[in-house]
Each structure stands twice: as structure tokens, then as C-alpha cells.
């Protein structure tokens, strides 16, 4: 018998439409703003405009703190813009024990790397996270590259992200490759076309797809 899984679709709309409709979300219900990646939790009584955001409205205020957003570096997440340079800049800026947030959207890239052979600073204990099914990182056509290569990045955590290796439009490369990165965690990740793989790494959690 095939295993069946339930999938939850959260409510998503633009900031202007949310403000105009001003709905009351159910207790615990999440509402995402598709144009800026911010979101709120409902309490069953308070209208949208009177709810506080679950994360700070201005991520630039967190630039010197452990959590930053790819949108601080110019990533669009609109499914058409090449976000490679913006996201790679965000990855390059990460320090040990820091996190990179991907707001809701589809981020088109030609290949990303963490601690590539050209990097002079090795990173450890960093986290890449998104909002689950609403956040996707996709490989461009004819990129012929790994979608993400994490090399020598111990205790890396990737969670709440979807990856599309676009296999039908690329002749080489893999999806997400994690190598020489001991004690890494892959949690609540979905993938298509190409797999999330690991090379010579100790994993604390199984790969979830």
C-alpha cells in the first residue's frame, strides 16, 4: 500500500491585499506576504492589521546579528530573476553560528557554494532555512552545476526549503551536495529532479523529502 501524506497550504497574498481585506486568522493560522516574505500568526480574534509580524519587518536591522535574509542582498525570489549573485553574496557574508533566511518565493540560481575551494574563511554551525513548500531554490536551464555545494562546513543545518535541480534542462551537476561536513542536519526538505546528497559526512538526521 502506498503511503499517503497530508500537505498543508498556508494562506499567501500581497501585503496590500492583506491590509485591504484585514481578515481575522484562526488561532495558530499563518498568513504570508508573498512580496516581502513576512508573516503573521493568527489568534482567532485580532484582525490582520493589528497583529504583529512573527519576524522583524526590517531585516536590514539584523545585518550584524546571527540571522539575515537573502533579500537583504537583493534576491527577488520571483522565479524569473537570476538570484545567484545576491544569494552567493549572502552566503559569503555568513559567520560561524549564523543563519540565512529564504522568504517565500522561487529563487532561480546557476549554482551556489558554501566554503568553496576559493573561500579563505571556513564556516561552521550555519543554518539555511525557509518557509517549507512556499520557498523553492531552482537551478537555471543549462547551468550544468550542483544546485548547492557545501564543502567542509561542519554542523550545517538546512531546513524548510524545497530544491529543484531541473534535471531535464541540465546535463551535469547534482542537487544539494554536502561533503566533508560532519554532523550536518537536513530537516523538512523537499526535492525534485535531483537529490539532496551527502559525501563523507556524518548526518544527525535522515534526509527528509
Same domain, 172 and 122: yes
Q: What integer pLDDT is reported at residue 66 of this predicted model? A: 67
Q: If 0-12 CB within 10 Å is exposed, 13-18 middle and 19+ buried, where does residue 94 land?
A: buried
Q: Cell numbers 537570476 label which residue? A: 82
Residue 207 lies in a domain: no
Same domain assignment for residues 18 and 105:
no
Q: Is the pLDDT of residue 1 over 70?
A: no
Domain shared by 81 and 28, yes or no: no
Residues 18 and 82 in one domain: no
Domain identity same for 92 and 174: yes
Tell me what the pLDDT averaged over the chain comes to: 79
Do 80 and 172 fall into the same domain?
Answer: yes
Give yes or no for residue 195 having a pLDDT over 70: no
Q: Residue 76: which domain range? A: 59-199
**Site of grid cell 522583524:** 56
Counted domains in the chain: 2
pLDDT of residue 48: 94
Query: Is the domain of 98 the same as that of 192?
Result: yes
Residue 111 domain-assigned (yes or no): yes
Q: Is residue 88 one of the residues assigned to a domain?
A: yes
Residues 185 and 99 in one domain: yes
Amino acid at each position: 500500500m502506498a503511503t499517503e501524506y497530508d500537505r498543508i497550504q498556508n494562506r499567501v497574498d500581497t501585503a496590500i491585499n492583506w491590509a485591504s481585506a484585514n481578515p481575522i486568522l484562526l488561532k495558530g493560522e499563518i498568513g504570508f506576504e508573498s512580496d516581502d516574505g513576512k508573516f503573521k500568526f493568527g489568534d482567532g480574534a485580532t484582525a490582520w492589521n493589528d497583529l504583529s509580524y512573527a519576524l522583524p519587518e526590517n531585516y536590514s536591522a539584523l545585518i550584524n546579528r546571527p540571522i539575515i535574509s537573502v533579500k537583504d542582498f537583493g534576491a527577488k525570489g520571483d522565479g524569473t530573476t537570476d538570484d545567484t549573485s545576491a544569494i552567493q553574496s549572502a552566503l559569503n557574508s555568513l559567520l560561524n553560528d549564523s543563519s540565512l533566511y529564504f522568504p517565500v518565493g522561487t529563487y532561480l540560481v546557476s549554482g551556489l557554494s558554501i566554503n568553496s575551494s576559493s573561500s579563505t574563511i571556513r564556516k561552521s554551525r550555519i543554518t539555511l532555512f525557509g518557509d517549507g513548500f512556499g520557498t523553492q531554490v531552482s537551478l537555471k536551464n543549462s547551468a550544468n552545476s550542483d544546485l548547492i555545494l557545501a564543502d567542509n562546513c561542519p554542523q550545517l543545518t538546512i531546513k524548510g526549503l524545497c530544491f529543484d535541480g531541473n534535471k531535464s534542462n541540465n546535463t551535469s551537476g547534482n542537487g544539494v551536495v554536502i561533503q566533508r561536513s560532519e554532523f550536518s542536519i537536513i530537516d523538512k526538505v523537499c526535492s525534485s529532479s535531483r537529490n539532496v546528497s551527502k559525501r563523507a559526512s556524518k548526518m544527525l538526521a535522515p534526509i527528509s523529502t
